Structure 1
């Protein structure tokens, strides 16, 4: 049932009376009002991602962990350090793919983004370890958006097993790090996020438990590569479908290289900040794809939203895709058009690719940095030839071509 034009619907989902919100204003209120709403993810999702992750902890714990993890990932100094590493991996990957013949473009992109996030959190570059963990995360993701049926043969059952294996790997890494510290083994000159999580303590000297560290890792490593890989793929595919947008984005990248000081090798964060049109391409891709379709909140007390009472304990589903495809906000919403972003600053609640409020994705700047660097080098030197350009699109667990974008990468 819809309440007038407020974008509020009543439903009964996941065993709870629920409200679905779809208008920009109601989405903004629910996402930013921490006094009346808390995370309300289904228990099945929390079981997979972790009870001690951002999905299951209290508001105060969330704030504390966000302060700890956001600066090493999204801070200016951190991003500046990551540019060269991301750049090197992108250059190597594109060259390798161009010599491989047919590849699953999406699969290779997910491997690339997973390698990047693994370096940030665990400083691990072991190919076998990364491939094994990436496979477990693929299985975990299928279960997150599946029916919670814990029986062999069902995605959720497989996801629980994948989580168990991930927990075992992360526990062994934690044990090894603690043993190295106890035995006085020389530490790395530069700490990774695992070191930061082992070191942090609150005002009372309390350190994070192994369970808390593991759940944070499960959450960050999952979120830190899936959305970036899919966005890179769709941005590339959509640009290939619209040569006029591709040429405009490519020209901008050529100008950046042309204006580079003599002797400079590689991109700088300052140059990336100058990629205005390419940034519009990324934003339009994020809007068009809407990787995270929905987030869950729960009313902590009776609250009135746009004149309607949401009772305490009711689940609230914030439907991002409905906002991003609202024709009153985005004319011709299914049309991919980066130029719609010319001189546009979206009003609050109308553009939510990374959420909003205190629960805004803490890795949003890193994700966009990865995407921009990849597109920069792809546009300058490569083109995509899809083997099945009319391939059926699959929507679960995420929107993607059923063949994972089978293609050849050609040098230009």
Structure 2
């Protein structure tokens, strides 16, 4: 009898402790808001210290990443905004187009709010951390080398030449990791645009360190050996050392060649001065390069892989895309070698394939903002200092905007222009990704040559997917590239 009583007491104690722990974050963060706490969206701040991170990581490391948000929907309804505690901060997740657009475009109310772990990896002087004024200046400065008709036309030949060479080489490699090779290709391209060129050995080292760094961007900030964040910090340190040697060498070259013209983004950054005459320090240049080099090849490589896979898995889509590319080549004037920007602008159906890939894959899971003041959004209050997670997956998988949202269907874009906030593959507002045009051109050039001349045979078509830091097959799309002509 006594044993039974002790068991009951023990169970009650465990339940009480659980009840208390589940409310610690609420007491810490909500009570200080006073009456405003009743204006918060529904949600759950999770456990002390770890908040909702375990449930987030569990969902994204299984085969059902949508289960993380659906758990809130099941408990609190389809409000589209939920309070959570993630990445070390009390936060609000926004999942509807209206709320996302408000957060991304209202610079008076919101500023970048990336976790300190992300800023430590990408750099405290990069776009993820600097003020609005500095951001406007640096964005204008750094967007010039990657935007505009003249600039994009200038890079097209380099991109196309490298795509052609890469595809020919891959066709003779046998078994290969398609994603790994694509990432090397896009890294080479972005290195050329921002740094002109570097040795093969330096590029290989940098690409490897970027890969390691990127794995830690969405990880928990646990700086202990064996954890992704710890490895990412070490990778950043090695990466910064390589970039510092490149910056130092460039400064020495410019001292000896003072009349040399600007040839890449590094020159532009070294020549830049703000309205007070201040120039950028080495560490500021390096942080900007880390951010651009990371973002500039990760998204292009992954989306190119997924677009290729979607095309091959949907023969009707592939046939229509291939017919469009054949027509472009057929209309080409005699003597023209290579694609033109005008031809890429005429790839109407391929552009829909790319947009549908961007929607289905949703390369960027979320972006982070922070409320500068108490902000009212869609009937709720986001308190000053709280983080906001703009949840792109919720927008891109909204069945009201995209019927049967998990289905890959480029035809859904026929005559369809999404309303503001309903399609956010490159973010939105003043911090929209400045390299979006360049990325789509890279993808278009690759797919043009691939659908006309090559095919991919996957070795593990049922390979499980990984969703962090970006969606990809676990085997990095192991397969073999062959020429289509070989099968005719």
Fold-level similarity (TM above 0.5): yes
Alignment partner of 1:250 out of 319, 322, 329: 322
Is the partner of 2:127 in helix, strand or coil?
Answer: coil
C-alpha deviations, 1:181-233, integer Å up to 9, x for none?
2234773x551111010001112211111111010000000000001000010
CA contact (8 A) 1:115 1:125 kept: no
Quick check: 1:159 aligned with 2:240? Answer: no
- TM-score computed with the length of structure 1 as normaliser: 0.98
Counterpart of 1:216?
288
CA–CA separation in structure 1 for the residues paired with 2:87 and 2:335: 59
Distance 2:257 2:173 in 1: 45
Q: Which residue of 2 aligns with 1:75?
A: 148
Question: Which of 121, 125, 143 is matched with 1:52 structurally?
Answer: 125
Q: Tell me if the contact between 1:394 and 1:402 (Cα under 8 Å) persists in the aligned partners.
A: yes
Matched position secondary structure for 2:107: coil
Question: Is the 2:123–2:287 Cα contact (8 Å) retained in structure 1?
Answer: yes
Distance 2:268 2:300 in 1: 24
1:233 is matched with which residue?
Answer: 305
Aligned residue number for residue 463 of structure 2: 391
Q: 1:136 aligns with which of 185, 188, 209?
A: 209
- Which position in structure 2 is the counterpart of 1:298? 370
| Offset at residue 4 of structure 1 (A) | 6.2
Matched residue, 2:241: 168
Structure 2 residue corresponding to 1:39, chosen from 88, 94, 112:
112
Instruction: Tell me if 1:311 matches 2:383.
Output: yes
Displacement after TM superposition at 1:6 (Å) = 4.1
Post-superposition shift, 1:172?
Answer: 1.1
Match of 1:144, SS state, is coil
| Residues 196-215 of structure 1 mapped to structure 2, 5 A cutoff | 196-215=268-287
CA–CA distance in 1 between the matches of 2:104 and 2:381?
16
CA distance in 2, matches of 1:192, 1:51: 23
Gap runs ≥5 in structure 2: 1-41, 44-75
CA distance in 1, matches of 2:232, 2:167: 31
**C-alpha distance in 2 between matches for 1:4 and 1:282:** 33
- Cα distance between partner residues in 2 of 1:402 and 1:250: 28
CA RMSD of aligned residues (A): 1.2
Change (3 A) 1:255 1:125: farther
The CA distance in 1 between the partners of 2:464 and 2:119, in whole Å, is 31
Matches within 5 A, 1:258-407: 258-407=330-479
- Whole-Å separation in 1 of the counterparts to 2:345 and 2:257: 42
User: How far is the alpha carbon of 1:235 from its aligned partner?
Assistant: 0.5
SS of residue matched to 1:316: strand
**Deviation digits for residues 21-70 of structure 1 (CA, Å, limit 9, x no counterpart):** 00000000000000000000000000000000000100100000000011
For structure 1, the 5+ residue unaligned runs are none
* Alignment check: 8 A CA contact 1:6 1:26 kept: no
- By how many angstroms is 1:321 displaced? 0.7
Alignment partner of 1:285: what SS?
A: helix
**Residue 416 of structure 2: SS of its match in structure 1?**
coil
Corresponding residue number in structure 2 for 1:177: 250
CA displacement 1:239-277 (0-9 Å, x = unmatched):
111000000000000000000011111000000000000
Cα distance in 1 for residues equivalent to 2:412 and 2:199:
42
Deviation at 1:328, TM superposition (A): 1.2
Distance 1:17 1:395 in 2: 23
Q: Which has the higher contact order (CA 8 A, sep 6+)?
A: 1
Secondary structure of the corresponding residue to residue 274 of structure 2 = coil
Q: Please give the TM-score of this superposition, normalised by the length of structure 2.
A: 0.83
**Is 163-172 or 267-276 further displaced after alignment?**
163-172
C-alpha distance in 2, partners of 1:14/1:46?
Answer: 12
Displacement after TM superposition at 1:71 (Å): 1.8
Secondary structure of 2:90 counterpart: strand
Matches within 5 A, 1:85-104: 85-104=158-177
C-alpha distance in 2 between matches for 1:238 and 1:332: 16
Alpha-carbon offset, residue 16 of structure 1: 2.3
Q: Is the 8 A contact 2:110 2:369 kept in 1?
A: yes
* Cα deviation code 1:293-317 (max 9, x no counterpart): 0000000011111222211111110
User: Could you say which structure has the larger radius of gyration?
Assistant: 2
